[in-house]
Amino acid sequence: MRYIKTSERLNLLKDVANENGWSTDVIGQTKNGLDLFVFRNRPDKHVDICAWSLMHGNEPTGFNALLSFMQRSNTSISWSIFPVVNPNGADLFKRLNADALDINRDARNLSSIEGLALSKWVLGENPSLALNLHDQRTCFYPKGKDVPASFSLLAPKGNRDYETTSQIIAMNCCSWMTNQLKGNYPDGVGRFDDSFYPSAFGEYFQENNIPTITIETGIGLNDWARVEVSKSLGELLFSLDKNFQSALSCKLKSYQKLPQNVNNAQDWICITSAGPYEIRVMELVENQKYSRAWKVVGPGDLDRKYWFLSESISTSVELTTGQILDDDLVQFLGGISIKDLDVFSFSD
Ligand SMILES: [Zn+2]
């Protein structure tokens, strides 16, 4: 479920909330009149975890995981969840909000309605942990590994120069998460570089003494639609719910030992007599219909990592940058039909 309309997302959330006794509150409204919804499982208790997703409207994996988490009826700790931070962007499957603002660069200016609502909500809840859920592009992989980064973890800095208490707690929890994930993703967990971006919400909440973790979910070689990774993230949240205190005090340093992410992998390199081309999976939403396509992005670089390679040097096909490939041409070039992407193993 990479794309559904925002109205459908909200209906699903409200139905699940009703079934499982989560409270539903509106904490703001976008300029186009869409409500910003927050759901709480124990509205009378101090909040242990705030979690949010779809700050970037084309990054729905966190939403799917939060929805599946809310479907579990036996939660242990107190959650407050803001699953659709950017409802206008999510409706269009676009990163930015209706004013073309990147909400995750708006933590200081608070010029977006959504960023202001997010800030007020998290600071008001003052949770023991905040989870900022994003998708990452297919080009990321843990340095030295041969698989994409299906999970990337980041405990953002709360101060440019030293580790704050909140960052240390967040790193403890990242170590716990690393250990939880390594069974299913022995190589596919990376660490984001923790350069200090003060305008991002992770840094902002960390600075405000709220331990904050950014989780970025990516593809797997058999999971380009991110179905498995969203299930794994839902399981991780459920396990965190059951092991919250031990996660916050985990001292194993597994997070610090994770390889850093590199961001230059190519989806598909196709070698033709005109040279290698880099071809990438594009996700498109037009008129509220989702589709994927292979798109030529330019010359391929065989010295950089790639997830799939084909050769059709006997043909003289010339590809142009920006070209969208139809299924017949993909087949001719020795590629994988876009509809088969999730069942084909790129590592074969
Ligand atoms: Zn994002």
Structural domain range at position 305: 268-340
Average pLDDT over residues 288-312: 95
Same domain, 218 and 286: no
Q: Look at residue 348 and tell me if it is in a domain.
A: no
Distance 334 CA to ligand 1 centre (A): 33
Residues surrounding ion ligand 1 at CB below 5 Å: 56, 59, 134
Q: Look at residue 233 and tell me if it is in a domain.
A: yes
* SS3 assignment, position 326: coil
Distance 125 CA to ligand 1 centre (A): 22
pLDDT in the model for residue 312: 80
Same domain, 182 and 276: no
* Assigned token pair, 345: 């193993």
Same domain, 14 and 123: yes
224 pLDDT tier (thresholds 50, 70, 90): very high
pTM of the model: 0.96
Distance 241 CA to ligand 1 centre (A): 24
Distance 95 CA to ligand 1 centre (A): 7
Same domain, 201 and 235: yes
pLDDT in the model for residue 343: 64
Average pLDDT over residues 265-285: 95
Percent of the chain's residues with pLDDT above 70: 98
Same domain, 272 and 251: no
pLDDT at 125 over 50: yes
pLDDT in the model for residue 24: 98
Q: pLDDT (tens digit, 9 = 90+) per residue, 140-197?
A: 999 999 999 999 999 999 999 999 999 999 999 999 999 999 999 999 999 998 889 9
317 pLDDT tier (thresholds 50, 70, 90): confident
pLDDT at 345 over 60: no
Q: How many domains, the chain?
A: 2
pLDDT at 342 over 90: no
Same domain, 207 and 322: no
Q: pLDDT (tens digit, 9 = 90+) per residue, 66-121?
A: 999 999 989 999 999 999 999 999 999 999 999 999 999 999 999 999 999 999 99
Same domain, 313 and 179: no
Average pLDDT over residues 277-286: 96
* SS3 assignment, position 238: helix
Last residue in a domain, options 228, 243, 262: 262
Same domain, 16 and 145: yes
Distance 128 CA to ligand 1 centre (A): 22
Q: Is residue 129 left, alpha or beta, with left meaning phi > 0 and alpha meaning psi from -120 to 50?
A: beta
CATH of the domain at 71: 3.40.630.10
pLDDT at 127 over 60: yes
Same domain, 312 and 204: no
Distance 316 CA to ligand 1 centre (A): 39
Average pLDDT over residues 219-248: 96
Q: Please report, for the chain, how many H helices and E strands are present, in that order.
A: 9, 15
pLDDT at 347 over 60: no
Q: pLDDT (tens digit, 9 = 90+) per residue, 5-23?
A: 999 999 999 999 999 999 9
Same domain, 147 and 294: no
Distance 115 CA to ligand 1 centre (A): 13
Nearest to 300 by CA among 312, 283, 292: 312
Q: Look at residue 117 and tell me if it is in a domain.
A: yes
Q: Please, which residues bridge with residue 191 across strands?
A: 153, 260
Distance 134 CA to ligand 1 centre (A): 4
Last residue in a domain, options 219, 234, 262: 262
pLDDT in the model for residue 182: 96
Q: Look at residue 347 and tell me if it is in a domain.
A: no
**Nearest-angstrom CA–CA distance, 2 and 25:** 25
Same domain, 250 and 276: no
Distance 200 CA to ligand 1 centre (A): 11
Average pLDDT value for the chain: 95
**Nearest-angstrom CA–CA distance, 324 and 297:** 10
Same domain, 292 and 256: no
Distance 64 CA to ligand 1 centre (A): 15
